[in-house]
Structure 1
Amino acid sequence: MIGIVIVAAVGLAGLVLGLSQILRGASNLGGANLELVKWGLQVLTVGVIGIVVSLMTQEWNRQRTRLETLETTRLKFYEDLIAAHVNNKRARRLLRAFKSVSPENKNLHLITAKVYDDYLAVINNVQLELESLNRRLNSTPVLFLKREVIGVHISIVEEALKRLVSEYERNRYHFTFPHSTMAIGNLRVLDDYLKPYDQSDIAKTIFRHISFAEKEILIDLIGDDPKKR
Protein backbone atom coordinates (compact mmCIF):
# COMPACT_ATOMS: atom_id res chain seq x y z
CA MET A 1 0.00 0.00 0.00
CA ILE A 2 2.80 2.42 0.86
CA GLY A 3 4.47 1.61 -2.48
CA ILE A 4 1.29 2.50 -4.38
CA VAL A 5 0.99 5.80 -2.51
CA ILE A 6 4.61 6.71 -3.32
CA VAL A 7 4.15 5.85 -6.99
CA ALA A 8 0.94 7.86 -7.09
CA ALA A 9 2.58 10.87 -5.46
CA VAL A 10 5.52 10.75 -7.86
CA GLY A 11 3.19 10.33 -10.81
CA LEU A 12 1.01 13.26 -9.81
CA ALA A 13 4.05 15.43 -9.16
CA GLY A 14 5.36 14.56 -12.62
CA LEU A 15 1.98 15.31 -14.13
CA VAL A 16 1.77 18.71 -12.48
CA LEU A 17 5.31 19.54 -13.62
CA GLY A 18 4.52 18.41 -17.16
CA LEU A 19 1.31 20.40 -17.28
CA SER A 20 3.06 23.53 -16.12
CA GLN A 21 5.62 23.11 -18.92
CA ILE A 22 2.94 22.52 -21.53
CA LEU A 23 0.90 25.53 -20.40
CA ARG A 24 3.98 27.69 -20.39
CA GLY A 25 4.70 26.65 -24.00
CA ALA A 26 1.07 27.03 -25.05
CA SER A 27 0.75 30.57 -23.70
CA ASN A 28 1.75 31.93 -27.13
CA LEU A 29 -1.17 30.17 -28.87
CA GLY A 30 -4.38 31.95 -29.78
CA GLY A 31 -7.35 31.93 -27.43
CA ALA A 32 -9.28 29.06 -29.06
CA ASN A 33 -6.21 26.85 -29.39
CA LEU A 34 -5.14 27.60 -25.85
CA GLU A 35 -8.56 26.63 -24.50
CA LEU A 36 -8.42 23.41 -26.51
CA VAL A 37 -5.03 22.57 -25.01
CA LYS A 38 -6.33 23.32 -21.51
CA TRP A 39 -9.36 21.12 -22.07
CA GLY A 40 -7.18 18.25 -23.30
CA LEU A 41 -4.89 18.59 -20.32
CA GLN A 42 -7.84 18.55 -17.94
CA VAL A 43 -9.13 15.32 -19.50
CA LEU A 44 -5.64 13.81 -19.23
CA THR A 45 -5.33 14.90 -15.61
CA VAL A 46 -8.69 13.41 -14.65
CA GLY A 47 -7.78 10.17 -16.43
CA VAL A 48 -4.42 9.85 -14.67
CA ILE A 49 -5.95 10.63 -11.28
CA GLY A 50 -8.69 8.07 -11.94
CA ILE A 51 -6.12 5.39 -12.74
CA VAL A 52 -4.13 6.19 -9.60
CA VAL A 53 -7.25 6.14 -7.40
CA SER A 54 -8.32 2.83 -8.99
CA LEU A 55 -4.90 1.27 -8.28
CA MET A 56 -4.94 2.49 -4.70
CA THR A 57 -8.48 1.14 -4.19
CA GLN A 58 -7.50 -2.25 -5.58
CA GLU A 59 -4.47 -2.43 -3.33
CA TRP A 60 -6.53 -1.39 -0.30
CA ASN A 61 -9.10 -4.11 -1.09
CA ARG A 62 -6.34 -6.70 -1.42
CA GLN A 63 -4.86 -5.69 1.92
CA ARG A 64 -8.29 -5.76 3.59
CA THR A 65 -9.05 -9.22 2.18
CA ARG A 66 -5.65 -10.47 3.34
CA LEU A 67 -6.22 -9.15 6.87
CA GLU A 68 -9.74 -10.59 7.02
CA THR A 69 -8.43 -13.99 5.89
CA LEU A 70 -5.66 -13.84 8.50
CA GLU A 71 -8.12 -12.97 11.28
CA THR A 72 -10.45 -15.79 10.21
CA THR A 73 -7.52 -18.24 10.22
CA ARG A 74 -6.41 -17.04 13.66
CA LEU A 75 -9.92 -17.41 15.09
CA LYS A 76 -10.29 -20.91 13.62
CA PHE A 77 -6.93 -21.88 15.15
CA TYR A 78 -8.06 -20.61 18.56
CA GLU A 79 -11.40 -22.41 18.32
CA ASP A 80 -9.69 -25.68 17.35
CA LEU A 81 -7.26 -25.38 20.28
CA ILE A 82 -10.11 -24.78 22.74
CA ALA A 83 -12.10 -27.69 21.25
CA ALA A 84 -9.10 -29.99 21.71
CA HIS A 85 -8.72 -28.80 25.31
CA VAL A 86 -12.43 -29.40 26.03
CA ASN A 87 -12.26 -32.91 24.56
CA ASN A 88 -9.25 -33.73 26.72
CA LYS A 89 -11.02 -32.46 29.85
CA ARG A 90 -14.12 -34.49 28.96
CA ALA A 91 -12.07 -37.67 28.50
CA ARG A 92 -10.27 -37.17 31.81
CA ARG A 93 -13.48 -36.54 33.75
CA LEU A 94 -15.23 -39.57 32.28
CA LEU A 95 -12.21 -41.82 32.84
CA ARG A 96 -12.24 -40.72 36.48
CA ALA A 97 -15.99 -41.34 36.69
CA PHE A 98 -15.90 -44.80 35.11
CA LYS A 99 -13.02 -46.27 37.06
CA SER A 100 -14.18 -48.92 39.50
CA VAL A 101 -13.07 -50.21 42.89
CA SER A 102 -11.97 -53.77 43.55
CA PRO A 103 -14.45 -55.64 45.79
CA GLU A 104 -11.50 -57.16 47.68
CA ASN A 105 -9.54 -53.94 48.12
CA LYS A 106 -11.28 -50.57 48.34
CA ASN A 107 -8.01 -48.80 47.63
CA LEU A 108 -7.48 -50.63 44.33
CA HIS A 109 -8.93 -48.75 41.36
CA LEU A 110 -9.67 -50.69 38.18
CA ILE A 111 -10.37 -49.81 34.56
CA THR A 112 -12.12 -51.96 31.96
CA ALA A 113 -10.79 -52.48 28.45
CA LYS A 114 -13.88 -50.81 26.95
CA VAL A 115 -13.53 -47.63 29.01
CA TYR A 116 -9.79 -47.57 28.31
CA ASP A 117 -10.44 -47.98 24.56
CA ASP A 118 -13.20 -45.39 24.37
CA TYR A 119 -11.42 -42.55 26.11
CA LEU A 120 -7.87 -43.20 24.97
CA ALA A 121 -9.31 -42.92 21.44
CA VAL A 122 -10.48 -39.42 22.37
CA ILE A 123 -7.11 -38.53 23.88
CA ASN A 124 -5.35 -39.91 20.79
CA ASN A 125 -7.51 -37.67 18.58
CA VAL A 126 -6.69 -34.66 20.76
CA GLN A 127 -2.96 -35.40 20.46
CA LEU A 128 -3.26 -35.65 16.67
CA GLU A 129 -5.22 -32.39 16.54
CA LEU A 130 -2.48 -30.62 18.50
CA GLU A 131 0.09 -32.07 16.10
CA SER A 132 -1.96 -30.64 13.22
CA LEU A 133 -2.17 -27.23 14.93
CA ASN A 134 1.61 -27.15 15.24
CA ARG A 135 1.97 -27.92 11.53
CA ARG A 136 -0.39 -25.03 10.76
CA LEU A 137 1.72 -22.75 12.93
CA ASN A 138 4.92 -23.76 11.17
CA SER A 139 3.44 -23.36 7.70
CA THR A 140 2.06 -19.85 8.37
CA PRO A 141 4.84 -17.64 9.81
CA VAL A 142 2.60 -14.54 10.02
CA LEU A 143 -0.20 -16.30 11.91
CA PHE A 144 0.74 -15.01 15.37
CA LEU A 145 3.35 -12.59 16.67
CA LYS A 146 4.62 -15.19 19.16
CA ARG A 147 4.17 -18.18 16.88
CA GLU A 148 7.23 -19.98 18.27
CA VAL A 149 6.13 -19.50 21.90
CA ILE A 150 2.63 -20.81 21.14
CA GLY A 151 4.16 -23.76 19.33
CA VAL A 152 6.35 -24.65 22.32
CA HIS A 153 3.35 -24.70 24.69
CA ILE A 154 1.28 -26.84 22.30
CA SER A 155 4.21 -29.24 21.81
CA ILE A 156 4.54 -29.73 25.58
CA VAL A 157 0.84 -30.65 25.82
CA GLU A 158 1.12 -32.91 22.78
CA GLU A 159 4.07 -34.78 24.30
CA ALA A 160 2.19 -35.23 27.59
CA LEU A 161 -0.78 -36.77 25.78
CA LYS A 162 1.56 -38.88 23.63
CA ARG A 163 2.85 -40.51 26.85
CA LEU A 164 -0.70 -41.65 27.62
CA VAL A 165 -1.18 -43.01 24.10
CA SER A 166 2.20 -44.80 24.13
CA GLU A 167 1.36 -46.45 27.45
CA TYR A 168 -1.98 -47.57 25.99
CA GLU A 169 -0.23 -49.10 22.96
CA ARG A 170 2.18 -50.98 25.22
CA ASN A 171 -0.43 -52.36 27.63
CA ARG A 172 -3.70 -52.83 25.74
CA TYR A 173 -2.88 -56.45 24.86
CA HIS A 174 -3.08 -57.38 28.56
CA PHE A 175 -6.89 -57.03 28.37
CA THR A 176 -8.41 -60.26 27.05
CA PHE A 177 -12.06 -59.18 26.74
CA PRO A 178 -13.88 -55.80 26.55
CA HIS A 179 -14.90 -56.11 30.20
CA SER A 180 -11.53 -57.34 31.41
CA THR A 181 -10.04 -55.07 34.05
CA MET A 182 -6.61 -53.90 35.06
CA ALA A 183 -5.41 -52.05 38.13
CA ILE A 184 -4.92 -48.42 37.20
CA GLY A 185 -1.81 -48.43 39.40
CA ASN A 186 -0.19 -50.69 36.79
CA LEU A 187 -0.62 -47.90 34.23
CA ARG A 188 1.64 -45.29 35.76
CA VAL A 189 0.98 -42.45 33.31
CA LEU A 190 -2.78 -42.99 33.38
CA ASP A 191 -2.70 -43.27 37.17
CA ASP A 192 -1.04 -39.86 37.41
CA TYR A 193 -3.43 -38.38 34.81
CA LEU A 194 -6.49 -39.48 36.81
CA LYS A 195 -5.35 -38.18 40.18
CA PRO A 196 -7.02 -35.02 41.55
CA TYR A 197 -5.75 -32.00 39.65
CA ASP A 198 -3.49 -30.68 42.43
CA GLN A 199 -1.79 -34.11 42.69
CA SER A 200 -1.46 -34.84 38.97
CA ASP A 201 1.74 -33.69 37.28
CA ILE A 202 0.51 -34.52 33.79
CA ALA A 203 -2.90 -32.82 34.21
CA LYS A 204 -1.26 -29.68 35.57
CA THR A 205 1.23 -29.65 32.68
CA ILE A 206 -1.56 -29.97 30.11
CA PHE A 207 -3.85 -27.33 31.56
CA ARG A 208 -1.06 -24.88 32.37
CA HIS A 209 0.46 -24.90 28.90
CA ILE A 210 -2.91 -24.78 27.12
CA SER A 211 -3.64 -21.66 29.20
CA PHE A 212 -0.29 -20.10 28.22
CA ALA A 213 -0.97 -20.76 24.52
CA GLU A 214 -4.50 -19.36 24.84
CA LYS A 215 -3.17 -16.20 26.45
CA GLU A 216 -0.71 -15.50 23.61
CA ILE A 217 -3.37 -16.17 20.97
CA LEU A 218 -5.91 -13.86 22.63
CA ILE A 219 -3.35 -11.07 22.84
CA ASP A 220 -2.99 -11.31 19.06
CA LEU A 221 -6.73 -11.63 18.44
CA ILE A 222 -8.04 -8.85 20.66
CA GLY A 223 -5.01 -7.36 22.38
CA ASP A 224 -6.20 -8.80 25.67
CA ASP A 225 -4.60 -10.78 28.47
CA PRO A 226 -7.41 -13.06 29.76
CA LYS A 227 -6.00 -12.94 33.31
CA LYS A 228 -6.58 -9.18 33.44
CA ARG A 229 -10.23 -9.37 32.47
Structure 2
Amino acid sequence: EVGQGVLTAMAQIAAQTLGIPVEKVEMAPLDTAEVPDAGSSSASRHVYISGNAVKAACLEAKRKWEEVLRAETGETHIEAEYTYRGRIERPTTPYHPETGECFPHISYGWGTQIALVEVDTETGEVEVLKMWAAHDVGKAVNPEMIKGQIGGGIHMGLGYALMEHFIQQDGYVKTRRLSEYAVPTVYDMPVEIVPIIVEVPDPAGPYGAKGVGEMTTLPTAPAIVNAIHDAVNVWVNELPATSERVQRLIREKLA
Protein backbone atom coordinates (compact mmCIF):
# COMPACT_ATOMS: atom_id res chain seq x y z
CA GLU A 1 0.00 0.00 0.00
CA VAL A 2 1.60 3.26 -1.13
CA GLY A 3 -1.48 5.44 -1.04
CA GLN A 4 -3.47 4.06 -3.95
CA GLY A 5 -6.08 2.33 -1.77
CA VAL A 6 -5.14 -1.34 -2.00
CA LEU A 7 -6.17 -2.09 1.58
CA THR A 8 -9.62 -0.61 1.05
CA ALA A 9 -10.12 -2.49 -2.22
CA MET A 10 -9.04 -5.80 -0.66
CA ALA A 11 -11.38 -5.27 2.29
CA GLN A 12 -14.25 -4.56 -0.11
CA ILE A 13 -13.55 -7.73 -2.11
CA ALA A 14 -13.40 -9.79 1.10
CA ALA A 15 -16.65 -8.29 2.38
CA GLN A 16 -18.40 -8.94 -0.93
CA THR A 17 -17.24 -12.57 -0.99
CA LEU A 18 -18.11 -13.30 2.62
CA GLY A 19 -21.37 -11.34 2.58
CA ILE A 20 -20.47 -9.19 5.57
CA PRO A 21 -20.15 -5.42 6.14
CA VAL A 22 -16.77 -4.04 5.05
CA GLU A 23 -16.36 -2.59 8.57
CA LYS A 24 -16.03 -6.17 9.83
CA VAL A 25 -12.96 -6.83 7.67
CA GLU A 26 -9.58 -6.23 9.27
CA MET A 27 -6.49 -6.32 7.06
CA ALA A 28 -3.38 -8.12 8.32
CA PRO A 29 -0.15 -6.09 8.53
CA LEU A 30 1.59 -5.88 5.16
CA ASP A 31 4.86 -7.15 6.56
CA THR A 32 6.70 -10.16 5.16
CA ALA A 33 7.52 -11.09 8.75
CA GLU A 34 3.79 -11.80 9.15
CA VAL A 35 2.51 -12.70 5.68
CA PRO A 36 4.08 -14.18 2.52
CA ASP A 37 5.81 -11.84 0.09
CA ALA A 38 3.33 -10.99 -2.67
CA GLY A 39 5.61 -8.67 -4.63
CA SER A 40 5.55 -4.93 -5.07
CA SER A 41 2.62 -2.62 -5.59
CA SER A 42 3.36 -1.97 -9.25
CA ALA A 43 2.28 -2.75 -12.80
CA SER A 44 -1.40 -2.18 -11.93
CA ARG A 45 -1.38 -5.68 -10.48
CA HIS A 46 -2.80 -5.62 -6.98
CA VAL A 47 -6.55 -5.50 -7.59
CA TYR A 48 -6.17 -8.10 -10.32
CA ILE A 49 -3.77 -10.52 -8.60
CA SER A 50 -4.09 -9.81 -4.87
CA GLY A 51 -7.83 -9.32 -5.29
CA ASN A 52 -8.13 -12.80 -6.77
CA ALA A 53 -6.06 -14.20 -3.90
CA VAL A 54 -8.29 -12.52 -1.32
CA LYS A 55 -11.42 -13.76 -3.07
CA ALA A 56 -10.06 -17.34 -3.26
CA ALA A 57 -9.07 -17.32 0.41
CA CYS A 58 -12.49 -16.02 1.44
CA LEU A 59 -14.28 -18.66 -0.62
CA GLU A 60 -12.14 -21.36 0.98
CA ALA A 61 -12.85 -20.02 4.46
CA LYS A 62 -16.55 -19.80 3.71
CA ARG A 63 -16.58 -23.40 2.47
CA LYS A 64 -14.93 -24.62 5.66
CA TRP A 65 -17.28 -22.62 7.87
CA GLU A 66 -20.29 -24.09 6.11
CA GLU A 67 -18.90 -27.62 6.54
CA VAL A 68 -18.54 -27.07 10.28
CA LEU A 69 -22.02 -25.56 10.56
CA ARG A 70 -23.61 -28.45 8.68
CA ALA A 71 -21.82 -31.00 10.86
CA GLU A 72 -22.61 -29.28 14.17
CA THR A 73 -26.03 -27.69 13.61
CA GLY A 74 -27.37 -28.86 10.30
CA GLU A 75 -27.59 -25.20 9.28
CA THR A 76 -25.57 -23.23 6.77
CA HIS A 77 -26.22 -19.78 8.22
CA ILE A 78 -25.60 -18.61 11.75
CA GLU A 79 -24.47 -15.38 13.37
CA ALA A 80 -21.27 -15.94 15.31
CA GLU A 81 -17.69 -14.77 15.72
CA TYR A 82 -15.04 -16.79 13.90
CA THR A 83 -11.30 -16.58 13.61
CA TYR A 84 -9.82 -18.38 10.63
CA ARG A 85 -6.17 -18.57 9.69
CA GLY A 86 -5.19 -20.38 6.56
CA ARG A 87 -2.59 -20.50 3.83
CA ILE A 88 -3.28 -21.79 0.36
CA GLU A 89 -0.33 -22.99 -1.68
CA ARG A 90 -1.59 -24.49 -4.89
CA PRO A 91 -1.46 -23.50 -8.55
CA THR A 92 -4.54 -21.61 -9.65
CA THR A 93 -3.96 -22.02 -13.39
CA PRO A 94 -2.53 -24.87 -15.53
CA TYR A 95 1.23 -24.86 -16.13
CA HIS A 96 3.21 -27.18 -18.39
CA PRO A 97 6.65 -27.74 -16.78
CA GLU A 98 8.38 -28.66 -20.06
CA THR A 99 7.02 -26.06 -22.46
CA GLY A 100 6.25 -23.33 -19.94
CA GLU A 101 2.82 -22.96 -21.50
CA CYS A 102 0.41 -21.31 -19.08
CA PHE A 103 -2.15 -18.59 -18.59
CA PRO A 104 0.07 -15.48 -18.39
CA HIS A 105 -2.09 -13.46 -15.92
CA ILE A 106 -2.27 -10.59 -18.37
CA SER A 107 -5.12 -8.12 -18.34
CA TYR A 108 -5.13 -5.34 -20.89
CA GLY A 109 -5.95 -1.82 -19.76
CA TRP A 110 -7.59 0.61 -22.16
CA GLY A 111 -7.83 4.34 -21.80
CA THR A 112 -7.98 7.59 -23.69
CA GLN A 113 -7.64 11.23 -22.72
CA ILE A 114 -8.44 14.59 -24.30
CA ALA A 115 -6.75 17.86 -23.35
CA LEU A 116 -7.95 21.43 -23.71
CA VAL A 117 -4.95 23.77 -23.70
CA GLU A 118 -4.16 27.44 -24.12
CA VAL A 119 -0.88 28.37 -25.80
CA ASP A 120 0.71 31.82 -25.54
CA THR A 121 2.10 32.37 -29.03
CA GLU A 122 4.51 35.04 -27.77
CA THR A 123 6.12 33.10 -24.91
CA GLY A 124 5.30 29.50 -25.86
CA GLU A 125 3.79 28.86 -22.43
CA VAL A 126 1.22 26.06 -22.38
CA GLU A 127 -1.61 25.93 -19.84
CA VAL A 128 -3.79 22.86 -19.55
CA LEU A 129 -7.32 24.07 -18.87
CA LYS A 130 -9.28 20.82 -18.83
CA MET A 131 -8.74 17.09 -19.19
CA TRP A 132 -11.20 14.33 -20.04
CA ALA A 133 -10.01 10.84 -19.08
CA ALA A 134 -11.88 7.62 -19.93
CA HIS A 135 -10.45 4.37 -18.55
CA ASP A 136 -11.66 0.79 -18.64
CA VAL A 137 -11.32 -0.60 -15.10
CA GLY A 138 -13.15 -3.89 -15.65
CA LYS A 139 -15.35 -3.41 -12.61
CA ALA A 140 -15.03 -0.39 -10.34
CA VAL A 141 -14.39 -1.77 -6.85
CA ASN A 142 -14.29 1.76 -5.44
CA PRO A 143 -15.26 4.47 -7.96
CA GLU A 144 -14.11 7.39 -5.80
CA MET A 145 -10.62 5.93 -5.39
CA ILE A 146 -10.45 5.34 -9.14
CA LYS A 147 -11.28 8.99 -9.76
CA GLY A 148 -8.44 9.92 -7.42
CA GLN A 149 -6.12 7.54 -9.27
CA ILE A 150 -7.04 9.18 -12.58
CA GLY A 151 -6.30 12.63 -11.15
CA GLY A 152 -2.95 11.45 -9.80
CA GLY A 153 -2.04 9.86 -13.11
CA ILE A 154 -2.83 13.06 -14.98
CA HIS A 155 -0.69 15.00 -12.50
CA MET A 156 2.30 12.77 -13.27
CA GLY A 157 1.63 12.81 -17.02
CA LEU A 158 1.37 16.60 -17.04
CA GLY A 159 4.79 16.90 -15.43
CA TYR A 160 6.23 14.51 -18.01
CA ALA A 161 4.57 16.45 -20.83
CA LEU A 162 5.42 20.04 -19.87
CA MET A 163 7.94 20.38 -17.07
CA GLU A 164 10.11 17.50 -15.89
CA HIS A 165 13.42 17.65 -17.73
CA PHE A 166 16.07 15.12 -16.70
CA ILE A 167 19.40 15.99 -18.34
CA GLN A 168 22.30 13.59 -18.86
CA GLN A 169 25.47 14.48 -20.72
CA ASP A 170 28.39 12.15 -21.44
CA GLY A 171 27.15 9.77 -18.78
CA TYR A 172 26.85 12.45 -16.11
CA VAL A 173 23.63 13.58 -14.47
CA LYS A 174 23.21 17.32 -14.88
CA THR A 175 19.85 17.61 -13.15
CA ARG A 176 20.94 17.02 -9.58
CA ARG A 177 18.33 18.86 -7.52
CA LEU A 178 14.55 19.08 -7.42
CA SER A 179 14.96 22.84 -7.80
CA GLU A 180 16.34 22.09 -11.29
CA TYR A 181 13.76 19.40 -12.03
CA ALA A 182 10.36 21.08 -12.13
CA VAL A 183 7.67 18.91 -10.59
CA PRO A 184 4.09 20.12 -11.08
CA THR A 185 2.21 21.40 -8.05
CA VAL A 186 -1.51 21.73 -7.49
CA TYR A 187 -1.33 25.16 -9.16
CA ASP A 188 -0.18 23.54 -12.42
CA MET A 189 -3.13 21.15 -12.57
CA PRO A 190 -6.06 21.70 -14.95
CA VAL A 191 -8.97 23.63 -13.51
CA GLU A 192 -11.21 20.69 -14.32
CA ILE A 193 -10.66 16.97 -14.75
CA VAL A 194 -13.54 14.85 -16.04
CA PRO A 195 -12.96 11.18 -15.08
CA ILE A 196 -14.99 8.68 -17.10
CA ILE A 197 -15.08 5.18 -15.63
CA VAL A 198 -15.68 2.49 -18.24
CA GLU A 199 -16.64 -0.98 -16.98
CA VAL A 200 -16.00 -3.96 -19.25
CA PRO A 201 -15.61 -6.88 -16.81
CA ASP A 202 -12.47 -8.97 -17.17
CA PRO A 203 -13.47 -12.64 -16.79
CA ALA A 204 -10.21 -13.40 -14.97
CA GLY A 205 -10.37 -10.49 -12.52
CA PRO A 206 -12.07 -10.52 -9.10
CA TYR A 207 -15.71 -9.67 -9.87
CA GLY A 208 -14.42 -8.47 -13.25
CA ALA A 209 -12.03 -5.88 -11.84
CA LYS A 210 -8.58 -5.05 -13.15
CA GLY A 211 -5.85 -2.54 -12.31
CA VAL A 212 -5.89 1.12 -13.27
CA GLY A 213 -2.49 2.48 -12.29
CA GLU A 214 0.03 3.35 -14.98
CA MET A 215 -2.57 3.63 -17.72
CA THR A 216 -3.91 6.82 -16.16
CA THR A 217 -0.54 8.47 -16.81
CA LEU A 218 0.30 7.16 -20.28
CA PRO A 219 -2.25 9.06 -22.45
CA THR A 220 -1.71 12.46 -20.82
CA ALA A 221 1.40 13.61 -22.69
CA PRO A 222 0.14 12.51 -26.13
CA ALA A 223 -3.18 14.28 -25.45
CA ILE A 224 -1.40 17.52 -24.50
CA VAL A 225 1.00 17.37 -27.46
CA ASN A 226 -1.90 16.81 -29.86
CA ALA A 227 -3.77 19.72 -28.29
CA ILE A 228 -0.74 21.98 -28.77
CA HIS A 229 -0.62 21.00 -32.42
CA ASP A 230 -4.32 21.67 -32.80
CA ALA A 231 -3.87 25.11 -31.21
CA VAL A 232 -0.76 26.45 -32.99
CA ASN A 233 -0.06 23.90 -35.74
CA VAL A 234 3.38 22.80 -34.53
CA TRP A 235 4.45 19.32 -33.53
CA VAL A 236 6.45 18.95 -30.33
CA ASN A 237 8.56 15.85 -30.98
CA GLU A 238 10.66 16.01 -27.82
CA LEU A 239 9.41 16.21 -24.25
CA PRO A 240 8.94 18.14 -22.12
CA ALA A 241 7.10 20.75 -24.16
CA THR A 242 8.68 23.65 -22.31
CA SER A 243 7.75 27.23 -23.16
CA GLU A 244 11.20 27.71 -24.75
CA ARG A 245 10.76 24.69 -26.98
CA VAL A 246 7.22 25.61 -28.04
CA GLN A 247 8.25 29.24 -28.63
CA ARG A 248 11.12 28.13 -30.89
CA LEU A 249 8.83 25.85 -32.90
CA ILE A 250 6.29 28.65 -33.38
CA ARG A 251 9.01 31.07 -34.57
CA GLU A 252 10.42 28.47 -36.96
CA LYS A 253 6.93 27.91 -38.32
CA LEU A 254 6.47 31.65 -38.97
CA ALA A 255 9.96 32.19 -40.39
User: Which bracket does the TM-score occupy, shorter chain normalised?
Assistant: under 0.3
Greater RCO, CA 8 A, separation 6+: 2
Task: Looking at secondary structure, tell me which structure has more strand per residue.
Answer: 2
For the pair shown, the structure with the greater C-alpha radius of gyration is 1
| TM-score of the pair, normalised by structure 2 | 0.20
Task: Looking at secondary structure, tell me which structure has more helix per residue.
Answer: 1
